[in-house]
Amino acid sequence: MIKYSVAMGIRVLCIFAILFVPGWWAIIPLIGAIFLPYFAVVVANVSTDPRRAEVQRPGNILPMTPPPPAGPRDDTKDTDE
Q: What are the DSSP calls for 17-31, one per residue?
A: HHHHS-GGGGHHHHH
pLDDT digits (tens, 9 = 90+) for 9-55: 989 999 999 999 998 999 999 999 999 989 888 887 776 666 666 76
- Total-model pTM: 0.53
Helix/strand number for the chain, H first, E second? 2, 0
> Which burial class, exposed, middle or buried, applies to 26 when counting CB atoms under 10 A from its CB (0-12, 13-18, 19+)?
middle
pLDDT digits (tens, 9 = 90+) for 60-72: 666 778 778 877 7
Residue 55 and residue 66 in contact, taking contact as beta carbons nearer than 8 Å: no
Q: How far apart are the first and last CA of the chain?
A: 64
Which has more confidence, 51 or 6?
6
